[in-house]
């Protein structure tokens, strides 16, 4: 039997109101399915997350149980498209421009400025930064603005590439659009907001000379082969992403970062994340109250 992906939302409003309950067996099967696809590990304590986030989707598809949904995800001709929906629903995309100012100040003083000083000596200085798990683009744009602030007009001489990637196609589309509402600016210095953003319908749009340093793509960090297409980096930012992975997936992803980084390059994790027990191939570097990791 082939299950249709057409939605029943307009024809069966009652279905939308029902939240599908998930049995323990279904929870384990669905959790393992998600883990295999993208490395996100949902703890048993967060079973409610599946019911809350996917109940409505089951209703839209006219499905009664999570077993029906799993069957669709495994066998339906439209399963690849539906998998993107799963990624949208299972990910947490919380982010903002200039998120964690203290850590960014530490990064600027202890990593960015020395790196720029080193590169400046070259006839054609370059800098590649990879923002892995960039959500809707606020982190890569923050880094691009920081570079404009550091380099000023001299930036024209530089070859700078900031590559943002995320599992969720919806947030990547938002990143490419570069238009943000007030919430995204909650930690952004007012002067930066005025200097690099202009009002458009729906919010403030990032300036073209900032966007020009960035590019965005949908990419699954669980896909070791696809990761090889990312340009080699001087710095990898992966903040507030590996908290959603178990240790095996953390090791796999950090191994990919190691491969991607130039010798002596830096990995920047979220302020509460650590490589302790995950990798000994990096040297911790203290950057004003935060820690970054240097590839040995």
Ligand X SMILES: C[S@@+](CC[C@H](N)C(=O)[O-])C[C@H]1O[C@@H](n2cnc3c(N)ncnc32)[C@H](O)[C@@H]1O
- Summarize as ranges the residues that interact with ligand X (CB under 6 A): 38-40, 91-95, 99, 133-135, 139, 166-168, 171, 220-222, 239-241, 244, 270
Q: Which is nearer to ligand X, 27 or 87 (CB)?
A: 87
Q: How far is 233 from 230, CA to CA, in rounded Å? A: 8
Q: Which is nearer to ligand X, 265 or 270 (CB)?
A: 270
Q: How far is 197 from 180, CA to CA, in rounded Å? A: 9
Q: What is the smallest separation between the CB atom of 246 and ligand X, expressed in angstroms?
A: 12
Q: What is the smallest separation between the CB atom of 213 and ligand X, expressed in angstroms?
A: 17
Among residues 261, 267, 296, 268, the alpha carbon closest in space to that of 282 is found at 296
Contact of 141 with 195, CB cutoff 8 Å: no
Q: What is the CA radius of gyration of the chain?
A: 21
Q: Which is nearer to ligand X, 240 or 260 (CB)?
A: 240
Angle in degrees, 0-180, between the axes of helices 79-90 and 66-75, rounded to the nearest 10 = 130
Q: What is the smallest separation between the CB atom of 202 and ligand X, expressed in angstroms?
A: 20
Q: What is the smallest separation between the CB atom of 221 and ligand X, expressed in angstroms?
A: 4
In sequence order, the 6+-apart residues with CB closer than 8 A to the CB of 105 are 288
Contact of 87 with 168, CB cutoff 8 Å: yes
Q: Which is nearer to ligand X, 157 or 229 (CB)?
A: 229
Q: What is the smallest separation between the CB atom of 4 and ligand X, expressed in angstroms?
A: 27
Q: Which is nearer to ligand X, 125 or 256 (CB)?
A: 256
Contact of 286 with 261, CB cutoff 8 Å: no
- Beta strands 203-206; 179-180: pairing state: antiparallel
Contact of 53 with 19, CB cutoff 8 Å: no
Q: Which is nearer to ligand X, 10 or 272 (CB)?
A: 272
Q: What is the smallest separation between the CB atom of 172 and ligand X, expressed in angstroms?
A: 9
């Amino acid at each position: 039997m082939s299950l249709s992906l057409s939605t029943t939302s307009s024809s069966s409003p009652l279905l939308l109101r029902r939240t599908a309950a998930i049995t323990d067996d279904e929870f384990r099967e669905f959790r393992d399915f998600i883990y295999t696809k993208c490395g996100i590990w949902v703890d048993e304590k967060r079973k409610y997350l599946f019911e809350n986030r996917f109940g409505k989707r089951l209703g839209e598809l006219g499905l009664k149980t999570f077993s029906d949904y799993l069957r669709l995800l495994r066998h339906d001709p439209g399963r690849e498209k539906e998998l993107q929906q799963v990624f949208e629903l299972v990910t947490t995309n919380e982010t903002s421009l200039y998120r964690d100012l203290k850590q960014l100040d530490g990064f600027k003083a202890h990593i960015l400025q020395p790196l720029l000083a080193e590169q400046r000596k070259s006839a054609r200085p370059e800098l590649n930064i990879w923002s892995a798990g960039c959500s809707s683009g606020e982190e890569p744009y923050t880094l691009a603005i920081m570079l404009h602030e550091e380099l000023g007009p001299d930036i024209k001489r530089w070859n700078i590439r900031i590559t943002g990637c995320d599992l969720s196609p919806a947030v990547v589309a938002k990143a490419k659009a570069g238009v943000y509402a007030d919430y995204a600016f909650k930690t952004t210095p007012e002067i930066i907001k005025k200097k690099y953003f202009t009002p458009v319908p729906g919010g403030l749009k990032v300036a073209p000379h900032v966007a020009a340093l960035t590019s965005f793509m949908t990419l699954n960090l669980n896909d070791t082969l696809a990761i090889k297409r990312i340009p080699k980096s001087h710095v990898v930012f992966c903040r507030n992403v590996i908290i959603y992975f178990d240790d095996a997936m953390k090791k796999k992803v950090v191994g990919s970062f190691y491969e991607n980084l130039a010798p002596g390059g830096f990995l920047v994790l979220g302020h509460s994340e650590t490589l302790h027990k995950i990798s000994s191939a990096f040297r911790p570097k203290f950057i004003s109250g935060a820690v970054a990791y240097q590839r040995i």
